[in-house]
Amino acid sequence: MAAGTLSAQKLYSEKHIDYVKKLDSRKDELEYWLTEHLRLNGVYWGLTALHLLGCPDGLPREDAINFVLSCQRENGGFGAAPGHDAHMLYTVSAIQILVILDAVDELEKRGLGGKQKVGSFIAGLQDQNTGSFMGDEWGELDTRFLYGALNALSLLNLLDLVDVTKAIAYVQKCENLDGGYGICPGAESHAGQVFTCVGALAIAGRLDLVDKDRLGSWLSERQLDNGGLNGRPEKLEDACYSWWVGASLAMIDKLHWIDGSKLAAFILRCQDPEAGGFADRPGHAVDVFHTHFAVAGLSLLKFEGIDEVDPVYCMPKAIIRKIFSA
Amino acid sequence: MGRYASDPEWASIQPIPLNDGSETGTVPLATIAYSDEYLEATSYLRAVMAANELSERALQLTEHVISMNPAHYTVWIYRAKIIFALNKDRNGELEWLNGVSLKYLKNYQIWHHRQVIMSSRDHFPTLPPKEMDFLMEMFAQDSKNYHVWTYRHWLVRHFELWDSPREIADINSLLNSDVRNNSAWSHRYMLRFGPRNDQPDGGMVNADGPPTEKGRLAVVDEDLVDEELQFAQVKIASAPENRSPWSYARGVLRAAGRPLSEWTEFARKFVVDKRDDQGQLEDVEVKSSHAIEWLADVYAQDSTSDQSSARDEAVRMLNLLKDKYDPIRRNYWDYRIQQITSGELPAAA
- The pLDDT of B273-286, averaged and rounded, is 91
Coil vs helix vs strand at A82: coil
Q: So what's the architecture of A9-325 in CATH? A: Alpha/alpha barrel (1.50)
User: What was the pLDDT predicted at B198?
Assistant: 57
Q: What is the pLDDT of residue B305?
A: 64
Q: Considering only residues B226 and B201, tell me which one the structure prediction assigns the higher pLDDT.
A: B226
Nearest CA in chain A to B251: A177
Q: What is the pLDDT, as a whole number, of residue B325?
A: 97
Sort out which chain B residues have CB atoms less than 8 A from A178's CB and list them. 247, 251, 349
Beta strands in chain A (DSSP E): none
Cβ-based contacts of B183 with chain A (< 8 Å):
188, 232
For residue B39, give the nearest of B3, B78, B76 by alpha carbon. Answer: B3
Q: Between residues B295 and B221, which one has the greater pLDDT?
A: B295
Confidence grade of residue B106 (pLDDT, cut at 50, 70, 90): confident
Burial of B25 by CB count in 10 Å (0-12 exposed, 13-18 middle, 19+ buried)? exposed
Would the pLDDT of B26 be above 50?
no
Tens digit of each residue's pLDDT (9 = 90 or more) over B146-183: 999 999 999 999 999 999 999 999 999 999 999 999 99
Q: Which residues of chain A have pLDDT under 50?
A: 1, 5-8, 27-33
* B188-218 confidence digits (pLDDT tens): 999 998 877 655 544 444 333 444 454 555 5
CA A43 to chain centre: 12
pLDDT, residue B218, reads: 55
Q: Is the ipTM of this complex over 0.95?
A: no
- Report the 10 Å Cβ neighbour count for A130: 18
| pLDDT per position as a tens digit, B313-328 | 999 999 999 999 999 9
Which chain A residue has its CA at the smallest distance from B67's CA?
A34
Q: Name the residue ranges covered by the structural domains of chain A.
A: 9-325
% of chain B residues with pLDDT over 90: 68
Residues A213, A221 contacting (CB under 8 angstroms): no
* A270 Cα to chain B: minimum distance (Å): 20
- CB environment A86-114: b (16+ within 10 A), e (fewer): bbbbbbbbbbbbbbbbebbebbeeebebb
pLDDT bin (cut points 50, 70, 90) of residue B69 is confident
pLDDT of residue A3: 59
B188-210: buried (b, 16+ CB within 10 Å) or exposed (e) per residue?
Answer: bbbbbbbbeeeeebbbbbbbeee
Mean residue pLDDT of chain B comes to: 87
* H/E element, A197: helix A191-203
Cβ A183–B146 below 8 Å, yes or no?
Answer: yes
| Whole-number Å distance between alpha carbons of A203 and A324 | 11
- Which is it for the CA torsion A151, A157, A158, A163, positive or negative? positive
Per-residue pLDDT at B255: 83
pLDDT above 50 (res B127): yes
Of the candidates A122, A130, A230, A231, which has an alpha carbon nearest to the alpha carbon of residue A182?
A231
A177 neighbourhood in chain B, CB within 8 Å: 189, 203-204, 214-215, 247, 250-251, 254
Any A CB within 8 A of B26 CB: yes
